[in-house]
Amino acid sequence: MVDEFTARIEALGFAAADARTLAEHFADCERRGKHGHGRTRVDWLETLPDLQPAARPERLVAEGGYERWDGSGALGYLTLAAICEAQLAEPPEHARVIAAVRTFPTGALGYWARRLADGGLVAVLTATSPRRLPHPEGGPPLTGTNPLAIAVPSSDGRAVVADTSMGRVTYGDVLSGVAAPEELVPFGGEHAHKAFALAVGLQLVVDALAGPDYGAVLVVARPDADPVPALRALAAGRRLPGDS
Amino acid sequence: MVDEFTARIEALGFAAADARTLAEHFADCERRGKHGHGRTRVDWLETLPDLQPAARPERLVAEGGYERWDGSGALGYLTLAAICEAQLAEPPEHARVIAAVRTFPTGALGYWARRLADGGLVAVLTATSPRRLPHPEGGPPLTGTNPLAIAVPSSDGRAVVADTSMGRVTYGDVLSGVAAPEELVPFGGEHAHKAFALAVGLQLVVDALAGPDYGAVLVVARPDADPVPALRALAAGRRLPGDS
C-alpha cells in the first residue's frame, strides 16, 4: 500500500522522499482503521488544484525551549514530519514548545505523536482545522474538531498514544455519509459542554500561538520516569489508548 | 468570606500571606459554584493531622524554557500559587514548560490558569490526584480525574478559561452524596473512551515529567495574537468556557 500511495503522490510532482513520508502516514491510518485520514486523502490530493509540491516548511525560530515553524505552502503533513524529524535529531534538554503556523492538513495527530514517543520523547500535539463544532446550545460552528494527541514512551516498547477529537463523529464520517451533518457536534451527550470547552481552549491556544491560519502547537519533553509499564499492569490486559 | 477563611487557616499555623492565598482560592471556588473546592476544603484542612504550614515549595531548575519545582511538603495550592507568581514576575520570552513534583492538592486548576491569563499569558495546566476513573470496560480505577485547564488572555479583559475534568461527576459529588460512586467514570456515555483516553494521556504526561507522586505540568506562553474577541463575536452572546 505504501508503494502504491508513494507512486501516486510522486506523480503529482512531489519528491520521492516527501511522497514516501506522505504515503507512510496515509497507509498507517488505513491500517489503524482511520480511513478518513488514509486512502481517501490520496484520492483527495489528486483533486487539489493548487498543490505546491516543491514548497518546504521553514524553521523561523530555534531556541532551546521554543521553535516556530511556517508551513510556507507545504502540506501540513510534511511540516509536522519535518518538525518531528528536527525534534528527534535535536531533542530538548528538558522540554520545548513548538508553534507551527500555516500547517494544514495535519492528518492523524497520533501518528506524529507516536513517532516522537517511539524516539523517546513525551509529545502533546493539537491542531486547528475548519470550524465544524457548534456550541452545545446551537448556532454556527465555533471551533475545529481540534484533536489532542498525547504520546508517552515506554521501556516495554509499547508507547501509549491517546488521540482524541472533540467531535462526536468525524468530518470524514459526514463526507462519506456514515454520519449526518447534525451529528458533528462536541462529543459527550449531556456532558457535551466538556468536550466543547476542550475544543474552545485548544482552538484559542493554537490561534494565540500559531494563528491566524490553521496551525499546530506541539510540546515535546524528555521523560524523567517510565510510568507506562505500571499502568499496563494495573489495567490487567485492558486496551490502553493507541493499542492495536 | 475571604476574611473568615483567612482567619481559620491562620489558626492552623499558616503565615498570613499563605492563609490569604489559600482563602482567596477557596472563596473564588465558592463564588463560581465549585463547592467541592471551596468551603468544604477549609473544613477538610482543619481535619488533617500532618499539615506542614511552614513548608515552602522550591524551584529546583530555572531555565528559559523549563522549570522544575518541588512542593517539599507544602500544600499543592501554595506550590501552584508560587509557580504562577514566578511566571508572572519573569514571563518566558516565548514559552516555558513547568514540572511540579509533589504538588497536591491543587484545587480548581482553572483558578490558577486564569491568574496567568489575567497577567497576559496563555496557560495549559493539568495535575494528577488519586486514581478514581476506571477503564470504560470496568475494572479498578486507573487514572485521576485529571482536569485540563486552558486559559487564553483577551484584549477585552475577559479571558476564556476552559477547565475540564475527565470524570462524569466529581469526587466531591460522591463525597457529598450527590452522586453514587459508580457514576465516577470517564464522561461521555457511549463516547467515554474519548474522555478515558484524555485522562490516561494526561496521567502519563504528569507521571513521566513530575511523578511518581501526584504532580502538575504547566505550559505558559506569550500570545502572538488575540483570538478571543473574534470568537466571542462569532459566539454571538453564547456563554464561552469560564464566563460567569
- Give me the residue from A162, A189, A201 closest to B241, CB to CB: A201
- Kindly state the average pLDDT of the residues B40-46: 95
- Kindly state the average pLDDT of the residues B141-157: 98
**How many CA within 13 A on the CB side of residue B196?**
22
Interval B104-121: pLDDT, tens: 999 999 999 999 999 999
- State the nearest Cα–Cα gap between A63 and chain B, in angstroms: 9
- Kindly state the average pLDDT of the residues B75-94: 98
Residue A176 has pLDDT above 90, yes or no: no
Residue B174 has pLDDT above 90, yes or no: no
A148 in Cβ contact with A198 (< 8 Å)? yes
Interchain contact, A94 vs B234, CB within 8 Å: no
- State the nearest Cα–Cα gap between B219 and chain A, in angstroms: 8
- Give me the residue from A160, A201, A236 closest to B162, CB to CB: A201
What DSSP letter does each residue of B144-164 carry, written as one string? ----EEEEE--TTS--EEEEE
Give the whole-number percent of chain A exceeding pLDDT 90: 94
pLDDT at site A244: 84
Closest chain A CA to residue B198: A162
A16-31 and A109-118 helices, crossing angle to 10°: 100
pLDDT at site A186: 98
Q: In the beta sheet, which residues pair with residue B143?
A: B133
In this prediction the pTM is 0.98
- State the nearest Cα–Cα gap between B18 and chain A, in angstroms: 30
Interchain contact, A189 vs B194, CB within 8 Å: no
Contacts of B64 in chain A (CB under 8 A): 63-65
- State the nearest Cα–Cα gap between A49 and chain B, in angstroms: 30
Q: Is the dihedral of CA B206, B209, B212, B214 positive or negative?
A: negative
- Kindly state the average pLDDT of the residues A194-215: 97
The string over B99-129, giving b where at least 16 C-beta atoms fall within 10 Å of a residue's C-beta and e elsewhere, is bbbbbbbbbbbbbbbbbbbbbebbbbbbbbb
A179 touches chain B (CB under 8 A): no
pLDDT at site A83: 98
Interchain contact, A212 vs B225, CB within 8 Å: yes
- Kindly state the average pLDDT of the residues A193-198: 98
Residue A220 has pLDDT above 90, yes or no: yes
Residue A174 has pLDDT above 90, yes or no: no
Chain B interface mutation, best of A93, A125, A194, A220, highest count of B Cβ atoms under 10 Å: A194
Q: Which residue has the higher pLDDT, B211 or B62?
A: B62
Chain B interface mutation, best of A32, A61, A87, A97, highest count of B Cβ atoms under 10 Å: A97
Interval A22-51: pLDDT, tens: 999 999 999 999 988 999 999 999 999 999
Interchain contact, A211 vs B195, CB within 8 Å: no
- Is residue B128 classed as helix, strand or coil in its secondary structure? coil
Residue in the structure block whose three cell numbers are 465558592 = B30
Q: Mind listing the domains of chain A with CATH numbers? A: 1-54 (1.10.1530), 55-235 (3.30.1370.60)
Rounded to the nearest integer, the mean pLDDT of chain B is 97
pLDDT at site B177: 85
- Kindly state the average pLDDT of the residues A183-205: 98
B224 touches chain A (CB under 8 A): yes
Query: Cell digits for A145?
Result: 474538531
How far CA B212 is from CA of A58, A122, A124, in Å, comes to 38, 16, 19
Quick one: A185 exposed, middle or buried, by C-beta within 10 A (0-12, 13-18, 19+)?
Answer: buried
Tabulate helix, strand, coil % of chain B (nearest 5): 40, 20, 40
- Give me the residue from B162, B190, B198 closest to A197, CB to CB: B162
Helix (H) or strand (E) holding A30: helix A16-31
Provide the ipTM: 0.98
Closest chain A CA to residue B122: A205
pLDDT at site B175: 81
- Kindly state the average pLDDT of the residues B196-224: 98
Where residue B51 falls among pLDDT bands split at 50, 70, 90? very high
Q: How many residue contacts between A and B have a Cβ separation below 8 Å?
A: 228
Taking alpha carbons only, the member of B71, B87, B89, B93 closest to residue B123 is: B87
Taking alpha carbons only, the member of B185, B210, B187 closest to residue B61 is: B210
pLDDT at site A196: 98
Interval A145-171: pLDDT, tens: 999 999 999 999 999 999 999 999 998
Contacts of B95 in chain A (CB under 8 A): 65-66, 97, 99, 209
